Structure 1
């Protein structure tokens, strides 16, 4: 599509149509197309003309959607920035010329975003203990949830990477898990594909669970014909994980918070940046930094090892 000449009085739909021409189903992922369509529609309410697409549109958009998680709004702003770049000829005064999406939020907002939550070791232990107890006295769904939560916690992997695993991706004999794309689940980036070692405790849990899955999928849905990627309200994986955390007294426990927790606590396990990156598979150090948080107990333990004592003279 050839973009028309810029006219500040032209309707916003000119920009909207130009962008969606580049975001057609089949060319882009369905979720990407859906997200772009949604954010363009939201800004349509604030920008009647092309001349209105500038930095003044961002604050009222944020205010209109303050009820959403900040990480969600950041993602939508990232899509809108991509739209402005795709049709930059129609947006000479880009809202992102000076500030990127993150700069539009205060540090206080970002710090209190529940999706950036991480948990201490004690809280993770509470969640796992409750999962163990419910699996012992519960049925197949409770055992599935236990295995899922253990996998998320011990690998620090992304939600859909874990939910889309096949049984054949788990090599218990060699203690390895293959993170790779399949027909039902694509990976986020090329670097997401990996071969990860299975921690001892997780190996024990998966050895008990895999025969019970009764499916080619490690974490199948209720009918066992596909991966447990979706579900009715209250029965989605995210709903079940969050509810388990709340019942254990650990609010905001999610697949994403488990990943943040892994990244944060790994330093206390003696891991360096390179090892953390190999497990989490972030493409840039900046992204990895976003997942690591200040953890006072971990810092206190390190502080206890500070010493300026003179070494003893040898006899």
Structure 2
């Protein structure tokens, strides 16, 4: 972004500052928007645009085509990734338009329509195998890993919400946790008995040993040096457990979140209840999980009914 013309650079900096200070977006979201707008400014600069008031709808459309086609430095983006990048571009133009009173060059540019993909979920039996593979108290960090996975699956937490969890956010008496989602939105999610038992065992028998090796942190999940566990460490825990359990295919923290939602809906939970538990701003986002059950019904019907084909 530093190489862009000053007027473009200043406008982008003001927008990012607005997102951070006034909108309170997370550090990860802010970093993603910074990458997107940096690429956008580089494209505009190469096209001879030097200031926000020189940007026209044709420039935004050309940038979108550029994202889909790629170049020597960037691979072509899938429709979903290009659409996400366009969200940043449109946010930048909306802010600039409101600040300067200029026309919004991106207002009428439609994002590419991504192929609708079903969320990846694993069967309950595979979740149980994954949980058992942590090893428990007999393995270094076993109680932590078991509690970590029980919470991920038990409350449908995002990985960022999990690593950001502090001790004061856990209430074992009421069996609930307080999570801070996107935009620092707070929600209270109930803990099941398995997650409660696993957390209790970790907090009382293993976390105190980790705390003694660190400098003091309120984080629930610690590494063996006493520091807050990182997102990458969570991925590593899942990878090791999946290998031990003999599970194939990609399994990530988001896989457990998807499985949480899918299994709730299969059990008869209302989609709006699942929306609240997941922390989705719109029920539309949650409704994609209902397609999983429908797809499974179709597959069962096709395999079992004599007149299905």
What's the TM-score, normalizing by structure 2? 0.73
1:262 corresponds to which residue?
260
Would you say the 8 A contact 1:156–1:279 is kept in 2?
Answer: yes
* C-alpha contact 1:62 1:73 (8 A) present in aligned 2: yes
Shift of 1:245: 3.1
Distance 1:106 1:138, change over 3 A: same
Paired residues for 1:7-156 under 5 Å: 14-24=7-17, 27=21, 29=25, 30-47=27-44, 48=47, 49=49, 50-51=55-56, 53-64=59-70, 65-66=74-75, 74-88=83-97, 92-94=104-106, 97-100=108-111, 104-107=112-115, 110-111=116-117, 116-131=119-134, 134-140=135-141, 142-156=142-156
Q: Higher helix fraction: Structure 1 or Structure 2? A: 2
Q: Is the 8 Å Cα contact of residues 245 and 252 (structure 1) preserved in structure 2? A: no
Shift of 1:151: 0.6
The match for 1:213 is: 207
Superposed, 1:284-299 pairs within 5 Å as 284-295=282-293, 299=297
2:241 alignment counterpart: 244
Distance in 1, Cα, partners of 2:136 & 2:121: 24
Contact in 1 for aligned 2:121/2:255 (Cα 8 Å): yes
> Within 1, Cα distance between the matches of 2:241 and 2:79?
23
Aligned-pair CA distance for 1:300? 6.8
* 1:188-208: CA deviation from partner (whole Å, max 9, x where unpaired): 246x42332211121221121
Native 8 Å contact 1:172 1:203 kept in 2: yes
Distance in 2 of aligned mates of 1:69 and 1:161:
27
Q: How many residues align?
A: 269
TM-score (norm 1): 0.71
Aligned CA RMSD, in angstroms, stands at 3.3
Structure 1, gaps ≥5 residues long: 1-10, 182-186, 304-315
CA distance in 2, matches of 1:257, 1:38: 26
Determine if the alignment matches structure 1 residue 164 to structure 2 residue 164: yes
**Offset, 1:120:** 2.3
Q: Once the 2 structures are TM-superposed, how far is the Cα of residue 82 of structure 1 from its aligned partner?
A: 0.7
